[in-house]
Copies of this chain bind each other. A is one copy, B any other.
Amino acid sequence: MKFSVIVTLKKDVLDPQGKVVLNTLVNLGIDNLKSIRQGKYFEIDVDEVDQVKAEKQINQMCEKLLVNLIIENYKISKIK
């Protein structure tokens, strides 16, 4: 079963990457940008047919390693 995980910085955490990307795009002439935030994306394939179990596992991976819960949020979705 395949899942995607999107990891984003919490709202009040500074996002230096997003900021620089935004500035660069503005300099490239894009003038109606309101905001950009950058995050991480994972595609995870687990050998598990039970969706509930699988999701629980993915959750574990996020909390154990993939996400720094102090500064980041995450969202899991099933791909296939």
Which residues from chain A sit less than 8 Å from chain B, CB to CB? Answer: 4, 6-8, 18, 21, 24-25, 28, 30, 32-48, 57, 60-61, 64-66
Number of copies of chain A assembled together: 2
Give the secondary structure class of A's interface.
Answer: strand
A66→B33 contact, CB < 8 A: no
A24 to chain B, nearest CB (A): 6
B8→A33 contact, CB < 8 A: no
A39→B42 contact, CB < 8 A: yes
When the two chains form the complex, which single residue of B35, B36, B43 contacts A8, counting CB atoms closer than 8 Å?
Answer: B43
B25→A65 contact, CB < 8 A: yes
A38→B40 contact, CB < 8 A: yes
